[in-house]
Amino acid sequence: MEERVFDKQPHRQERKKKKFAFITSGILLLTIGSLILFVNAFIGRSVEQVNGTINLPILKEQVQVITDENGVPHIKAANDHDLYVAQGYVQAQYRLFQMEMSRRQASGTLSEVVGEAAIDQDKYFRTLGLRRAATKSYDIYSEQAKQVLQYFSDGVNAYVDEAIRTNRLPIEFTLMGIKPEAWTPIDSLTIGKYMAFDLGGHWERQAFNYYLLQNYPENKAYELFPDYPEEKPVIMEEPYVSIPESFDKAIIPPAFNGSNNWVVSGDKTASGLPLLADDPHLGLATPSIWLQMQLESDTNHVSGVIFAGVPGIILGHNDTIAWGVTNTGPDVQQLYLEKQHPERENQFYYEGKWEKATVIEEPIKVKNEETLDYHVVETRHGPIISEFAEESGKDTMLSLRWTALEPTTELEAILEINRASDWSSFEKGLEKFLVPAQNFVFAQKNGTIAYKANGNIPIYQDGTDALLPLPGWEKESEWKGYIPFEQLPRIVNPAKGYIATANNKITTEDYPYHISNVWAQPYRYERIAEVLESSNALTVRDMQDLQMDTKNMQAEEFVPVFLSILRNMNISEKEKQAVNVMKKWDYHDEATAVQPLIFHHWMNELEAIIYQDIPDNMMDLFGSRGQTTDELIRKSVEGKDAIWVENAGGLQQVVKDALTNSLNKLENDFGKKMNDWQWGDYHQVSFRHPLSEINPVLEFFFNNEAPLPVGGSKVTPMAAAYKTETGIVNHGASWRFVVDMEEPKKGYHIVGPGQSGHFKSDWYHDQLTDWVHGSYHETTLSQSQGNLLIFQPE
């Protein structure tokens, strides 16, 4: 008995331990579960409210917001005051953290919340002075526009005040330990100036050209200057007339990845009325740069997209017209070489006299660090930016003149074109849209289609073509005003039945003004034109398919050339296999194909070999070099001198070495079985949230989906430019839009990756796969169903 009792004791103790452990584990799990539920509930409190009633005392009358199944808010107000107050409140619900980061980035105040890692970026934006320019712009706005800006700001601040009071700020603010300050009209205008920065730059190429002339023989330097192929298409194909011949015509161009838009007349459509399509190409991230909305009041009824933090609708349609844009890419930035006084550092020489520059104190607050004393020096031309010009700025004083740093009135234009009803009233509104210069395409319900390259485009002195920094001490180097509005490139109802733009060259040689030296490679435009010319019964579906088109016309031009070169060369078995694979290609950059993976690596390696003597930091300034590379290849094929190619060993050797390097890299990354390789194994999209990069926990919440394989590339209509090191797509169609003017109240959209900036929202990444596969959602001006939110004035 005793033995049995003795034997049971340990078992009892073990059972007690297990029971205790079980209870302890249960309590721990319950605690963790409760904590998760609490955190989940806490985070969920800041998800946008789309149902119920919100008291908003600043309103005059009740406002209805119907949010459709795709997260698009349809705001209906009795007057403009209430409309823009509600738009500000709704935008803040969806995107407050994005708005906060946008105004800080553009204003140069990121270091205040991020720390010393953002100092250099803040210095750059303080030097440019986008916020200073926004302040100057505000002063020239009409009282009506100022009121709209204030209404919008009041709506944003009503949400901010409520979110702070009820502890419902988006979780990003908690993670960063900050609270948003009051929103102001200047914040909205500063974000607008930032978009001009994002779309309007080319000073880096001037600095690069200057560096070339300083460090290479003249003939070798000039070979890398921009040059647009003569046989490639331009937008205005007819000779330009009616402008005095006294102006010089200097247009010498190449490339960048930009946007697509086109408009087709009823003569070429199944409906018998115009079709319009637009897909602006910008950085791809979470949240989207665009927010889709519909606005309705006693003076407005418009649908489309807007930048978070800005009132109105910048791109879209109303019930009689539709419009879209691409970047014109004109030379609106000019570097000036400045002569500094040998003893008085803030004086600069101009026309025989020393002029005192303006010194602007820009102290930069840095999180957990002392405030950094920083000042900006502005000459008559603009801020001194030498420190950002790498080797070109070494021992040189470079200032920057830029149209966006002048007072401009883009919001005035947006408000007017939102209410426009025909081409005349729309074009009138464009007079106030000054920066960034854009290619506007237009469609009207009555059948009119039109185009205008719009904005402030400088007139240069005869013989001056913005390729290099100009002597800042000479009056002859100054701009001579801007191309008059009535003489900007313009097309109305062309005989061929369509107008398309893809950042390619705009004008023929008879146009009397200089516009740009740098144009996009023409391949996207060529493919768009090829498709539009192939049918006289085009539909919405055809337009959507064209926006998703992966035809690579660069490959169609160069792959046969490369294969012909390799035909008579001694190549390895691996290279022979690649040649056979490339022979079977239909020149579409499909995600499941092996050929685009080989081709794009081949082109990247080819550039690396040709430009191997250029330092990495200067290659960063060698923007838009794709067209330069194409022209060097063409010259070599035609037997013309191409110094950079010859110095790299000649075209045959460059093509072979580039293929060898590409295949070795691909084999290392994707294995030895070439037939198993796919473009989508490398070329993928994920729409990264800015906080995802901080640590894996935040990545799990903000970007918990695996990157998706995607077709296209920077040279296809389905634009999907990528980081060469990783293959991650970071630039492309930020919004896709198609409308048939037979039903002008209805539009077809994709806003990748979704409408909301909150990771717990149903509309956070719901359009991610739609973006990859081209699945559009329909939005109508007469939306009557969906989630209903009421804003009550009391």
The amino acid present at 668, given as its one-letter code, is N
Q: How does the average pLDDT of the chain come out, rounded?
A: 91
At residue 247 the predicted structure's pLDDT band, cuts being 50, 70 and 90, is very low
Q: What percent of the chain has pLDDT over 70?
A: 91
Q: Is 218 left (phi over 0), alpha (psi -120 to 50) or beta?
A: alpha
Q: How far apart, in whole angstroms, are the C-alpha atoms of residue 266 and residue 486? A: 27
Which has more confidence, 94 or 31? Answer: 94
Assess contact for 425 and 323: CB atoms under 8 A: no
Query: For residue 493, what are the CA distances in angstroms to 30, 245, 259, 485, 507?
Result: 70, 26, 22, 19, 17
Assess contact for 753 and 687: CB atoms under 8 A: yes
Structure token pair of residue 444: 């009207």
Residues, the chain: 794
Output Rg (C-alpha) for the chain, integer angstroms.
29
Average pLDDT estimate for 275-294: 97
In 280-330, DSSP assigns E strands to: 281-283, 290-296, 301-307, 315-317, 321-327
Q: Would you call the peptide bond into 287 cis, given omega within 30 degrees of 0 as the criterion?
A: yes
Span 479-530, pLDDT tens digits? 999 999 999 999 999 999 999 999 999 998 889 999 998 899 999 999 999 9
Span 450-482, pLDDT tens digits? 999 999 999 998 767 789 999 999 999 999 999
> Measuring CA to CA, which residue among 656, 637, 636 is closest to residue 646?
636
What letter would DSSP give residue 262? Answer: E
User: Residue 236 has what pLDDT?
Assistant: 66
Q: Which positions are catalytic?
A: 259
Strand partners, 733: 281
Span 386-428, pLDDT tens digits? 988 777 667 689 999 999 999 999 999 999 999 999 999 999 9
At residue 547 the predicted structure's pLDDT band, cuts being 50, 70 and 90, is very high
Element (H, E) at 550: none
Q: Would you call the peptide bond into 239 cis, given omega within 30 degrees of 0 as the criterion?
A: no
User: Residue 466 has what pLDDT?
Assistant: 87
Q: How far apart, in whole angstroms, are the C-alpha atoms of residue 371 and residue 701? A: 33
User: Residue 200 has what pLDDT?
Assistant: 65
Q: How far apart, in whole angstroms, are the C-alpha atoms of residue 503 and residue 330? A: 10
Lowest mean pLDDT among 206-215, 244-253, 455-464, 745-754: 244-253
Decide the pairing of beta strands 290-296 and 73-76.
parallel
Element (H, E) at 749: strand 746-750
What letter would DSSP give residue 777? Answer: E
Decide the pairing of beta strands 290-296 and 301-307.
antiparallel
Q: Is 80 assigned a ligand-binding role in the annotation?
A: no
User: Residue 761 has what pLDDT?
Assistant: 97
Phi, psi of 653 (to 5 degrees): -70, -40
User: Residue 461 has what pLDDT?
Assistant: 81
Which of 16-25, 190-199, 308-317, 391-400 tops mean pLDDT? 308-317
Span 662-706, pLDDT tens digits? 999 999 999 999 999 999 999 999 999 999 988 888 999 999 999
Average pLDDT estimate for 334-363: 96
Tokens 């369509």 sit on residue: 498
Average pLDDT estimate for 339-362: 96
Assess contact for 229 and 407: CB atoms under 8 A: no
Assess contact for 449 and 740: CB atoms under 8 A: no
Assess contact for 217 and 242: CB atoms under 8 A: no
> Measuring CA to CA, which residue among 71, 262, 69 is closest to residue 736?
262
User: Residue 629 has what pLDDT?
Assistant: 96
At residue 537 the predicted structure's pLDDT band, cuts being 50, 70 and 90, is very high
Structure token pair of residue 778: 């329909």
Evaluate if pTM is beyond 0.85.
yes
What sections of 447-502 are H helices per DSSP? none
Residues sharing a CB contact under 8 Å with residue 679, sequence separation 6 or more, in sequence order: 589, 590, 591, 592, 593, 594, 595, 596, 597, 600, 709, 711
In 370-464, DSSP assigns E strands to: 375-378, 398-402, 438-444, 449-454
At residue 11 the predicted structure's pLDDT band, cuts being 50, 70 and 90, is very low
